[in-house]
Structure 1
Amino acid sequence: MPALLTSAAPTTGREDRRWYRAYGLQVVLAIGLFGAALLVARIQHLPVRDPDDSIVGPSYVRLPLIALTCFLLDVVVRCLRGGGPVGWRSRLAAVVRERWQVRRVRLVLIGMGSWYVAYVGFRNLKSYVPFVRPDMMDDHLLRLDRMLAFGHDPATVLHDLLGTGLAAHLMSLTYVAWILFLTLSLLIALFWTSNLDIACWYVSAVAVNWVLGVAVYYLVPSTGPIYARPELFADLPDTMVTHIARSWLTDRADMLADPFGTDALQTIAAFASLHVSVMVTAWLIARMIDLRPVFVRWGLALFLVLNILATVYLGWHYVVDVFGGMAIGVAAVWLSAWGTGNQHRLPTLLPSASARRRRW
């Protein structure tokens, strides 16, 4: 992602000596998520599906095409920047030798493969939540939200403060843009990040977000304010998000009525907000690697704030979901840092002995 393109820490030889540790967490989480999905599907007699099968084809066809496109974009652009049509073949070969060494190829293959397996497991496990935990906890979360807002509904407070016209479209655009951000951030981490240790850290951190996120989906099953209290959002104009909300409700009804009679996956789950958790993860890693230029860090911080506002404004999540997402995002950074050998990049929480002596 842009936040991982340039950092103060250069690439070192450590990655090549301990590649199995750098990628091990990704692989374990992917296998664990997919295995858990298979287990729940067998117990509950539910189907396991490709979550993003589309007119372009299933993910196992689409992902190699994306990888090939990114590879060609990387080498062709660098080749063209090196000069005119004369000698382009030698320049192309030189770019491939320089950019696509064993370490980079390994990162792309393991990273994209583990991402796909983990994502399939995550989406299917999310789809099974209402079968395993049919009693939703929205009433409890609604009461807690009103307590935090001193007796008011947080979404209504934001509607009164920001209005329900232009703000609704901005919040909708922000929420949908997160999907594009997640995809691009993973591709940039895999194909264009100069430090492969950091790339492994970020990709693994996203997988940890999914693992922790789906776990709390089962601990605190809920649908979100837009489904539990739709009257609070009746004054909002039609946006991309309102159409998504209707289609997800239809998918949920179809899945609950006949799991094998529909190709859809149940996508509704509120606590906690993974939009917020992933943005917290991206922003924290950007700060910890001393990302340059600095305006990218500020852009990530702004996008995080906008996602927090959007997720409550549009009714996808409760305020407590935001706090839960923040906690997951922070935990994902720390757990993935230790799991990929990047713990030395974590900030020291306690002052060192020498710092304490200087203070005194």
Structure 2
Amino acid sequence: MSIAQLAVRSSSEAWRANQPFFVTVIAYVLIALIAAAYWKIVIDVELYNKNFLFFGSVVTLILVVVVIGRLIIERPQQPLHALKDVMLANNLLDRITVGLPVAFILPIFFSMFTSIKGGISKIQPFYADAAMAEIDRAIHGGLDAWRFFQPLLGFGPLTSFLSVLYNLWFAEVFIVLFCVVFSTRDERLRSQFLVTFVLAWVLLGNVLATVFASVGPAFVMPIYGDSTFSPQMDYLQTTNLSYPVFALGTQSYLLANSGIDGPRLGSGISAFPSVHVATAMLNAIYLWRYGGVLRWGSVVFLIAIQLGSVHLGWHYAVDGYASIVAIPAIWIVAGWFSRSQPHPET
């Protein structure tokens, strides 16, 4: 088979395996570009290129080290033949064929998402925080959610630990994402996850975040001049003197960038609903089928992210509750959209 024929075959296979994902991302990008032009939102499609390149390089290096280490330990008589066997046994070529195009598109998608998120206030001025706080009080016996959970969580070491876990969300989300991107065992499940992943960020992180534009407890004072959550922020600041609360630095970064026109890495302020909780919920749904540590670890992580999002001032509790309810519904829709992809047994 010639190189040209191999390229055509690989392209066809990549399109077939990723069609629902590609269609979803392309539709989003087109709509986002139209919205950006209408509301004069600055778009930077190269925002995450270097980060994804670095992450991909690290993952590739780890895989190379693992394979070489395995060959060194086993010491096969024909190393190149053994390397070929390892590649074939792990469907490496198929994984690269279907996964690499998705990996190339993801930084563009996230760049578009961050650009639109940063422009939410141009589309809809922030207004919904008072309503979200009232809903929280209605759910939690008349108390703000952070006060409701404070007897359980209000200890310096635990606050610091939750802050660390909240930062580790990035690692958990993207490790699972890249494992799925380069998986080949169940194309329908893979497609369902990827489409749900995109729709979660788009529908929750852009659409609903704009409709219910809110900033979250940490930003109520600097943006509205409302001191309702100042006691919570005072607790976090005081705790930070003895135990590091990393959320405070990130919140300062977001607040500083909110006054700059144009996206920055991880920039954009929005509270309802919580994308952190949404993606943790998606991973819990996906990993549930594997049982054991993966199942229960993902559930514990979901609970920790939900509690941390409230305790650290990022979100109202209802932000996470809404995401926990929304993701299974999006998962079902994504499953319908991915129905043409084959199951392993077919």
How high is the TM-score relative to the length of structure 2?
A: 0.81
Pick closer, same or farther for the CA change 1:21–1:212 going to 2, 3 Å: farther
Q: Could you list the per-position Cα deviations for residues 325-351 of structure 1 after superposition, in whole angstroms to 9, with x for gaps in the alignment? A: 112211232122222228999xxxxxx
RMSD between aligned residues: 2.8
Alignment of 1:193-272 (within 5 A): 194-213=185-204, 214-228=206-220, 229-231=228-230, 232-236=232-236, 237-238=239-240, 239-253=245-259, 255=260, 259=261, 266-272=267-273
Aligned length: 317
Matches within 5 A, 1:1-360: 20=15, 22-50=17-45, 52-53=47-48, 58-59=50-51, 61-62=53-54, 65-66=57-58, 68-69=60-61, 72-73=64-65, 75-76=67-68, 79-80=71-72, 83-84=74-75, 86-100=77-91, 102-191=93-182, 194-213=185-204, 214-228=206-220, 229-231=228-230, 232-236=232-236, 237-238=239-240, 239-253=245-259, 255=260, 259=261, 266-287=267-288, 290-292=289-291, 294-341=292-339
Q: Distance in 2 between matches of 1:233 and 1:283?
A: 30
Amino acid at match of 1:90: H
Does 1 or 2 have the higher relative contact order (CA < 8 Å, sep 6+)?
Answer: 1
Deviations along 1:13-52, one digit per CA (max 9) or x if unpaired, are xxxx997554122112211222233222222223212575
Give SS of 2:137's match: helix
Q: CA offsets, 1:259-308, max 9 Å, x none? A: 15x85664211000111111221212233xx314x221011111111111
Structure 1 residue 74, shift from structure 2 partner: 6.2
**Could you tell me how far 1:216 is from its partner in structure 2?**
0.5
Which SS does the other structure have where 1:234 is aligned?
helix
Is the Cα contact below 8 Å between 2:284 and 2:295 reproduced in 1?
yes
- Structure 2 portions without partners, runs of 5+: 1-11, 221-227
- State the alpha-carbon separation in 1 of the partners of residues 275 and 284 from structure 2: 14
Structure 1 residues 74 and 337, CA, compared in 2 at 3 Å: closer, same or farther?
farther
Letter in 2 for 1:221: A
Any unmatched runs of 5+ in structure 1?
Answer: 1-16, 346-360
**Distance 1:320-1:60 versus aligned 2 partners, 3 A rule:** closer
Name the CA distance, whole Å, in 2 between partners of 1:35 and 1:103.
29
Deviation at 1:119, TM superposition (A): 1.6
Contact 1:71 1:191 in 2 (8 A): no
Q: Contact between 1:225 and 1:315, CA under 8 Å: does it hold in 2?
A: yes
Quickly say closer, same or farther: Cα 1:21–1:264, change in 2 above 3 A: closer
Equivalent-residue separation in structure 2 for 1:219 and 1:151 (angstroms): 25
Q: Percent identity?
A: 20
CA contact (8 A) 2:87 2:93 kept: no
Query: Alpha-carbon deviations, 1:171-217, whole Å to 9, x = none?
Result: 10121111110111112223466444433332222112112212101
- Rounded to whole Å, the distance in 1 between the matches of 2:310 and 2:209 is 18
Secondary structure, in 3 states, of the residue corresponding to 1:272?
coil
Paired residues of 2:215 and 2:271 also in contact (CA < 8 A): yes
Q: Is the 8 A contact 1:136 1:222 kept in 2?
A: yes
Instruction: Work out the CA distance in 2 between the residues paired with 1:68 and 1:264.
Output: 23
Answer whether contact 1:223 1:270 (CA < 8 A) is retained.
yes
Structure 2 residue matching 1:58: 3-state secondary structure:
helix
